[in-house]
Amino acid sequence: MCYRGGWSRILTSEIVVGDVISLKTPGFENTLKSVDQRCSGDVERVVVPADAVVLRGRVVVNEAMLTGESTAQVKESVEERGGGGRLDVEEDKKIIVWGGSSIVNHKSGGGISAVPQCSDGGALGYVFKVGFETQQGKLLRNMAYTENEGGTTSTDTLIFILVLLFFAFLAALNVVQQGLLDPDRNRFKLLLHTIIIITSVVPPELPMELSLAVTNSLKSLMDKNVYCTEPFRVPLAGKIDTCCFDKTGTLTSDEMVLKGVVCVDGGRMTALQGNVGEVEEEVLHVLAGCQGLTVINGGKVLGDPLEKATLEGTGWELKGENEVGGNGEGGEKSIRIVHRFGFDSKLKRMSCVIADDKLKLKLVAKGAPEKLKEFFNADTVPEDYDKVSMAHMAKGRRVLALGTKALPQDVTIGKVKTLKRSDLESNLTFCGFIVLTCPLKTDTTPVISELTSSGHRCVMITGDAVLTAAEVARKVGIIQVEAENTLELVKDGKEWRAMSSSTPSHTFKHEPDNIQFLPSLVKKGYQLCVSGDALVSLLSSSGSSLLSAPSLKLLKAVVPHVTVFARHAPKQKEAVIAALNAGGKFTMMCGDGTNDVGALKQAHVGISLISVPEVESKTRNAMNAVDLLKRIEKLERKLVKAKAKKDGDKEAEITKQINKLRKKSRKLKAGEGGFREQIKKLKEAEEALDNVHLGDASVASPFTYRGTSISCCKMIALQGRCTLVTMLQIYKILGVNCLVTAITLSRLTIVGVKQGDTQLTALGLIVAGLFFFVSVSKPLQTLSTTRPPSSILCLPALASIITQFCIHLTFMTFTVTASLPFLDPLDASTIPDAAFNPTPLNSAVYLLSVCITVNTFACNYVGTPFTESLRDNKLLSKAILGLFVVMGVCVTETFLPINQLLQLDPFPEWEDRFVNANRAGDMSAEELGEEGELGPVLELVKTLGFKGFLGAVMVADTICVNLIERSIFRKLLGGD
């Protein structure tokens, strides 16, 4: 519905900037059923058609299609923004619904719009962007028009083709010179033949073969639930050397586990109190009231997992829109949220104005301890404030400071919305810390370990505190040193200090003019951490934006040496990736949420994960339960053996261990149904992931994984290496074959070498089949420390092509030399412009050409450590073996119908040479038979016979190219 002087229904394609539209929940009339189905994705979603500012009401939207964040986002009306000034799409996200997001729930009423309420009861939105100018439109435009930056660049391809053209022109020049010497040669056919030589050297099938390799890789990734919107990035994944990860939702689960609250008592911090429901009412009000959760029809609570975990820990619950209730001092209590200042990634805090049962207004706030500290009344901040917060962060926990402030009586609910945020968020009373933790995902540590051991540098880029990020990085293996050897940039970017308070001497002055001291610190065994503020302070001298050229120049000297980037806002994350790219690194970024979108788009390989905390929790609990049951079963077997041996002490010890594990299993309900029940739960979790729509992960990133673990990073890296190596193989194979073709069409045509239509067709089918079998090669299951070559223009690759060509040319020359004496000079087909007629020369050269083609595929197949070996590639190995058998049959003339099908002339005996020579009248048979007149090639023909000589040449060519390629160049190129 659209308002243009009155409400009317129009097509979404007719919406223009300035329209006021109704934003309503799908199936609003059948709310209970529709909400449950919308959350599971079982019904058609109502998608916002344009970017709009909420004028009236409240809208709950799912922005997963745009950001990858599966958590529903609450959008308030513009009245909640407060203050004045122009609209800033970065700062005012809380009042903007983006085109492409789907509406989960809405509430009408409230706001500042004078537009009458729509009859469908929807919230009102003012359209300010449509079409390709919306967030969704920009993403689609990037997907459609992104420049190809594939594994082998366009520049490499152009240079490679120019090199081939150089050889083609040399070959064509030779043909032209020979043709002009012949006065009877048809000049038009000479020109046509020259053009054919040049065009044959530039492989027309190159784009098709490269596309085939990438397409097969895309199919392989899809089979593993990895989807790619920018196929050219697949080979780029084979080049990555730096892997960057977000923390929450990527390395750790999005599920938040509330550890407890640290309160203030007598000017000192108390111990961690696990039972949050028993804390003072003032603290309960902050925990329950400072949140942006919303409850939709049916009672389902949507919002930030951290806030859901906190509210659940207090024992309070949402009783309605903006109303929270639960047990407090003196019985049932409730509070009402009257105004929100949403969480801001730059401010690193949020606050709400609440009204208690007595309608007294109070501001409650939470945020990063180091940021919120400056807003507290100094008299309420304990001396051990920093010590306690840092102690919990050092254990990898997430810590938020809590504050409150009673508002003056003259401040009414209506007046609150007109006051500035900075006026309200001042002189707060410190209430304590809330401590939460995110469980590590089960396969995070093994994947990080394999990436690190294979030579990839792993980096964490997160919005969490430095201490928390560093400890989690240490647990998963990103940081491999203790806290005393982990340095943090402090004092406005002027000093590197050890993160352990026990080693204050580990302090180094930052030297902007001598940036080389950073690699020296890393070589000494230190690992570096940088906060977003420290990063900005480094750029203070440039005075330019994060992504500007001067800033990137400064950043690329620092960023490659840092391991953990903490407290980074979205733009800062993007700047870190851009700086790594500017420093010549090939980057992979893996994330799941809104804050990662810019970095995902900036990285060479951006991977978005699906974030489904409920499914992750169910999977983790089931896997833990299975592990406990296995351990109990193992101990029970030991107990039986101990009883048999009548070893009372051991029996008592094992029984104690079993009882301890059974106690844990009861908490996880692991004993209910045994293994079968837990396996059933795992299958249900897998099915739940399969039912998640692809839209529930960011389309902003080139790669999307329908899963929750970072194992996809390993999959993509393996497939990328396989694709990159396959593409380089294709370049080498086409390069060698095209050079051989140029010689065949130029130099050998002069002496009468031609190929028939059937022969060319058969050779073309062989080449197409072998290329297909090469392109479907599978990657290995483990990453190697050896890296594939990144360009076809590297010296080993070029030297390999030239060497192979020289070997093939040598044996081709031997074959022509051996065949010429058996060629009838009176045969009209030997004239360059004549039609094809089978001769011993044509047949021998054709079979050797087939052999050279097959050898080119066999010797240039790289195999391990990037793809499966030639032996394991059953299709290719069997095809090559079968072709060698067929060539052997043709050379030996064992089955003549094959020779006849391929237009092969019967191979001559030694005596046939004299017959042809006598016809020519050149010399007598006796003269030709003198030993002194025969060269070494003809001596071999006489000794082995023509068939034996041709077979020996083919075997020798096969052995030579494979031996040299595998013993020398394969090692240089990184193959087995």
Given a contact cutoff of 8 angstroms between Cβ atoms, the answer to whether 811 and 840 are in contact is no
DSSP states along 121-155: --EEEEEEE-GGGSHHHHHHHHHHHPPP--SS-HH
Given a contact cutoff of 8 angstroms between Cβ atoms, the answer to whether 87 and 128 are in contact is yes
Show the tokens assigned to 417: 């919305």
In order of 320, 755, 762, the CA distances from 850 in angstroms are 78, 12, 9
**Prior bond of 570 cis (ω within 30°):** no
19, 51, 246, 957: which one is catalytic? 246
Given a contact cutoff of 8 angstroms between Cβ atoms, the answer to whether 484 and 414 are in contact is no
In order of 306, 336, 349, 363, 812, the CA distances from 276 in angstroms are 14, 20, 21, 20, 85
Q: How far is the C-alpha of 867 from the C-alpha of 884, rounded, in Å? A: 23
Q: Where are the alpha helices (DSSP H) in 647-776?
A: 648-668, 674-690, 711-745, 747-750, 757-775
Coil, strand or helix at 44: coil
Given a contact cutoff of 8 angstroms between Cβ atoms, the answer to whether 715 and 221 are in contact is yes
Count of CB atoms situated within 10 Å of the CB of 192: 11
What's the 3-state SS for 918-929? HHHCCCCHHHHC
Given a contact cutoff of 8 angstroms between Cβ atoms, the answer to whether 296 and 105 are in contact is yes
Calculate the dihedral angle through the C-alpha atoms of 238, 243, 247, 250, rounding to the nearest 10 degrees.
Answer: 10
Q: Where are the alpha helices (DSSP H) in 47-186?
A: 64-67, 135-145, 154-181
Show the tokens assigned to 849: 């050409």
Vertex 693 angle, CA 688 and 698, to 5°: 120
184 included as an active-site residue: no
Nearest to 682 by CA among 624, 634, 628: 624
**Under 8 Å CB-to-CB from 787, ≥6 apart: which residues?**
239, 241, 455, 974
Distance of alpha carbon 622 from the chain centroid: 28
Instruction: Give Rg (Cα) of the chain.
Output: 37
What's the 3-state SS for 239-287? CCCEEEECCECCCECCCCEEEEEEEEECCEECCCECCHHHCCHHHHHHH
Vertex 809 angle, CA 808 and 812, to 5°: 85
Q: Which residue has the tokens 């069409």?
A: 745
Q: How far is the C-alpha of 905 from the C-alpha of 836, rounded, in Å? A: 12
Q: How far is the C-alpha of 951 from the C-alpha of 659, rounded, in Å? A: 76
Secondary structure tally for the chain: helices H, strands E:
34, 31
Half-sphere exposure (Cβ direction) of 881: Cα atoms closer than 13 Å: 8
Q: How far is the C-alpha of 753 from the C-alpha of 225, rounded, in Å? A: 52
Instruction: Output DSSP code: residue 86.
Output: -
Given a contact cutoff of 8 angstroms between Cβ atoms, the answer to whether 529 and 554 are in contact is no
The kind and range of the H/E element at 497 are strand 495-498
Bridge partner residues of 460 (DSSP):
245, 564
The residue length of the chain stands at 976
- Catalytic site residues? 246
